[in-house]
Chain A
Amino acid sequence: MKINPDKCVACGNCTYICPMGAIYIDPRIHRATINRDECVECYSCYNGLSQEHLNPSFVRFVRKTFQMMRIRFDPEPDVCPTGAFEPDELTWPRVVRRAFSDPRVPHESTGVHGRGTEEVKTNDVSGRVKLGEVGFTIEFGRPGVGVRFRDIQKMSMALARAGVAFEKKNPVTSLMSDESKGEIRADILDEKVLSAILEIKVPVSRTEEIIRLVWEIEKQVDSPVALGVGARCDENGEENVVAPILEKLGYKLERAKTNIGLGRITNVEVSEQQAREPVGARS
């Protein structure tokens, strides 16, 4: 992303709306400026700000006059008065920033918008997490801090050493150069993104071990970590297996995403394939 200095009037609105705090008014040029190393190309400035297309010279004159008279200028806080933001042509590896930060861009590897994962949201049709298993989403960068892949790799390598397999349909997995070691492509390690998720699945018996591993490694990561734990409920809709383990580890379960099981496979070729499978082949 870039800001056109001929249009910018240094109103400062964008400095507040940048999730990374990467926009500032440069006192030397009196224009809003983007710290490119901190910018994650989330496009929140470009997509989120409403735009006027006022004459920049006129706006600067008004602002200067008000300032001289010590009159508080009170504009709408979510508007760029001159439409000064202009998207950059992103190339590799910087384009990775946008793929992981702009939720309107679907990940090529999964076709899913946002962070590109379906986790237990579609478990009723994907069968990704079965009874006796636990799905983990280990998220970095959120909220409003950002993370570099070098930090994510600390966790992915530790998980790989523990013999954990990464979810194939996950954007971070698709960027690993050696999945068995949890190594991420060297050319993107310094790229910063708004948020990214490692996704794994283990038997319930390994739940505590994985959480203790995350606790150990997250101390070395320069970002908060948000842990999500997915589990399959029994036929009565009860989940009394994973929750007690989490509570024993000191977690208070305040919020959850609950899949209510209304989904079914309707794509023609998948339905036909399943019809050919012997009964009991599916979970």
Chain B
Amino acid sequence: MTNTLHRFGPAESFRDDYVVFAISSRGKNDQGALPKLRRFLEMAVPFKPVNLGDAVHGGALRPCKDMKPTSHWKREAKPDFQAVIDGLDSPCTVAAVFDNRVAAEDFVKAVREADLGLSVNISTSVEGAEQCCFAAGIPRHSVGYSLGFEGKTERLPEANVMMLSTMCGHGMVSHSLAKKMIDWVKEGRRTPEQAATYMTRFCSCGIFNPARAKRIIEAAARGESA
């Protein structure tokens, strides 16, 4: 699963995008991993993540399978972190997304002190992750570089759309939806927050960053590059 690795954008565009995730390895440390993964999620909440999720059930904003007609006017747009924690029922990748480096650093420090024994990764700019590790006093173990997209790139859309859609590395946020949301904000049909919320619901593992999405949509609606 390389779902957080290939987010599109220059390093500077990840200034509000820090994904910290924990994973157990099959046959190595998956026995008894479930309570540790849940603990990881619980520990993230005080650091005010913008999203939280697990790879099976999704993020802190989820689609509703039984909407009532009146609910259009009072839809829940606040992330429900407790639902993510309570819903975790099998070992899988769990993630917390932060919109600032200080929160990510502090969370990483707390995770180190908790000594859960799980593999923990930070996905952001190369420099951002280095700074998090430095602040937490942890030498990096391994690094997986994204070399970006190549080959038939003519089949890809414009940069702002790519920056939005690649925030769900599993590809559940389509280019068409990202483009539509930019257009709707441009037309004044929805706010950037609402547009980001719609997209967040499609991410099936909770790593979509609604704060970065809002910033990108705002810039794109003005015709600027984020």
Interface residues of A (CB under 8 A from B): 15-19, 21, 42, 44, 47-54, 74-79, 83, 101, 103-104, 106, 110-126, 129, 135, 137, 139, 141-145, 194-195, 197, 215, 218-219, 221-233, 235-239, 242-243, 246, 251, 253-268, 270
From A49, A195, A229, B145 is in contact (CB under 8 Å) with A229
**How distant is the Cα of A44 from the Cα of B157 in the complex, in angstroms?**
20
Q: Do the beta carbons of B171 and A195 come within 8 Å of each other?
A: yes
B148 at the interface (CB under 8 A from A): yes
A261 partner, pick from B24, B125, B141, B165, beta carbons under 8 A? B141
Interface residues of B in 190-214 (CB under 8 A from A): 198, 201-202, 204-205
- B123 contacts the other chain (Cβ, under 8 Å)? yes
Closest 6 CB pairs of A and B: A237-B139, A261-B141, A114-B1, A263-B119, A218-B151, A258-B129
**Taking CB as reference atom, which chain A residue is nearest B176?**
A16
Verify A113–B144 contact, CB threshold 8 A: no
Contact A123 B141 (CB under 8 A): yes
Contact B119 A122 (CB under 8 A): yes
Q: How far is the CA of A121 from the CA of B108 in the complex (A)?
A: 16
Which of B28-36, B79-87, B215-223 forms contacts with chain A? Answer: B28-36
Known contacts A103-B3, A110-B26; A255 and B123 CB within 8 A of each other:
yes
Min CB–CB distance B26 → chain A (angstroms): 5
Check B27–A267 contact: CB distance below 8 A. yes
By the criterion CB–CB under 8 Å, are B117 and A139 in contact?
no
Q: Which listed residue, A47, A239, A246, touches B63 by the CB 8 Å rule?
A: A47
Nearest CB in chain B: distance from A78 CB, A: 5
Asked if B23 contacts A254 (CB within 8 A), the reply is no
In the complex, B180 has a CB within 8 A of chain A: yes
Q: List the B side residues contacting A195 at CB < 8 Å.
A: 170-171
Instruction: Say yes or no: B142 contacts A120, CB within 8 Å.
Output: yes
A105 nearest in chain B by CB position: B56
CB distance from A114 to the nearest CB of B (A): 3
Are B6 and A143 touching (Cβ within 8 A)? yes
How big is the B interface, by class?
35 or more
Chain B residues packing against A (C-beta within 8 Å) = 1-11, 14, 21, 23-32, 55-56, 63-69, 72, 75, 92-93, 108, 111-112, 115-126, 129-130, 132-133, 136, 138-153, 155-157, 162, 165-166, 169-177, 180-181, 184, 189, 198, 201-202, 204-205
Smallest Cβ-Cβ distance to A107: which chain B residue: B1
Contact (Cβ within 8 A) B176 A15 = yes
With a cutoff of 8 Å between Cβ atoms, the chain A residues found around residue B4 in the complex are 257
User: Given A16-B180, A230-B144, A215 and B119 touching (CB < 8 A)?
Assistant: no
A111 in contact with B26 (CB, 8 Å): yes
Complex Cα spacing A143 to B172, Å: 10
A141 to B2 CA separation, bound complex (whole angstroms): 13
Of B23, B130, B139, B143, most buried by chain A (CB within 10 Å of CB) is B143
Residue in A47, A115, A139, A197 whose CB lies within 8 Å of B204: A47
27 contacts between A and B (CB under 8 A): A16-B180, A18-B174, A19-B171, A44-B172, A47-B172, A48-B63, A50-B64, A77-B181, A111-B26, A118-B25, A121-B23, A142-B169, A143-B6, A143-B156, A145-B152, A224-B153, A224-B155, A226-B148, A227-B146, A228-B146, A255-B14, A256-B144, A257-B4, A257-B144, A259-B119, A259-B121, A260-B133
Sample of 17 further A-B pairs with CB below 8 A, known A78-B198, A260-B121: A42-B171, A50-B65, A51-B66, A54-B69, A77-B181, A78-B202, A103-B205, A218-B150, A226-B150, A228-B2, A228-B145, A237-B140, A238-B140, A254-B9, A260-B108, A263-B25, A264-B29
Whether the pair A264, B117 counts as a contact (CB closer than 8 A) is: yes
Complex CA gap A232/B140 in Å reads 9
Given that A103-B55, A113-B1, A137-B2 are known contacts, is A262 also in contact with B25, CB under 8 Å in the complex?
Answer: no
Alpha-carbon separation in the docked complex, A30 to B1 (Å): 38
CB distance from B80 to the nearest CB of A (A): 14
Contact A226 B176 (CB under 8 A): no
Q: A48-B204, A51-B67, A144-B171 are in contact. Are A17 and B177 (CB under 8 A)?
A: yes
Q: Chain B nearest CB: distance from A185 CB in Å?
A: 23
Contact assessment for A261 and B26 in the assembled complex, using a CB-CB cutoff below 8 Å: no
**Contact between chains at A125 and B25 (CB < 8 Å):** yes
B142 and A52 contact, CB distance less than 8 A: no
Q: Are B149 and A48 in contact (CB under 8 A)?
A: no
Q: Which of B6, B32, B118, B141 contacts A228 (CB 8 A)?
A: B6
Contact check, B117 vs A114: say whether CB atoms are below 8 A apart: no
